[in-house]
Structure 1
Amino acid sequence: MNTLIIMIVIGIITSMFGKAKNNRGQSQNKPTSPNGIGEIRKLFQELTDHELSEPSPIKEPTRTSPVMVEQKKAATQNLEKEYLQVRKESEFSRERAAVSRQQKEISKEHVKKDKQEEAGTIFSEYPDAKTLVNGIVWSEILGEPRSKKPYFAKRG
């Protein structure tokens, strides 16, 4: 009974020291929220307050003169021209890429046809590995059935 009470007291004391040790290790710079959103909000608030506190030059409302209107129209026309030019260039590059792809495909087809013409017939002197494998497979398919080739000869 005595040992049980001593063990309980020791457990309570160690848990108190453990909590005190955990609290001492925390720094004040760590954000209070687990994902740091609180700290981000503080920084954002400080930045916006700083920007609002700086005096910004106040622009007086002015009338738009005909010269300014012409300049704006010229600027928009320049932008439209640049847009059309970039669009034409991109279309041209896409067409050029498509043509090069088609040429590559055509050249591949010519190479295949040349190889077939060189072989002449299906039966060539030096068949490749794929042809040999296909030949073995077809000989098994078209050959004599397994029932006609017993493992052991019948003893009579």
Structure 2
Amino acid sequence: MEFLLENPFILIALIAFISSFFKKKKEEKPVKQTPRSVQQEQRTQAERTSEESALAEALKEEKRQQTEKARRIEEEYRQRKQQAEESMKALQNQRKGAERKASALAKIASNTNAEHPKEPSGAGGFELRKQSIIDGIIWSEILGPPRSKNPHRSLNRKQ
């Protein structure tokens, strides 16, 4: 036995022989297909039909849910459209009312202009009054830039 283990060529040949022996054994063993019995085939067919019917039921349910969702969206669209139409009618009524008021005010304005005719006054129609000139100067001082922005130099500093 020691002779076999000490010689590497014999050891390799022994390993190859053993491995080929096990390969042949595996190849000789045919794969057995168990014939299906009629009951097993009927069971698989029944399972398939039950799966198909369950799938069909699920599809019907999904289709029903989609049609329900479509109806809700359509109803919401109708409601929004109706609200928009109502608000548009209300805005048109407001516009018509405003036009009536504007025409009434225009009539009143034209009547008052006819009662008080303007008197021609000079080239541009601008009259100068002493009080209005004074008021203008005062307001220009009030609304003008502050004194700190435009300081006046005293006479003493100029020298």
- Tell me, yes or no, whether TM beats 0.5: no
Q: TM-score, normalised to structure 2's length? A: 0.38
Larger Rg computed on CA atoms: 2
Instruction: Report which of the two has the higher share of helix.
Output: 2
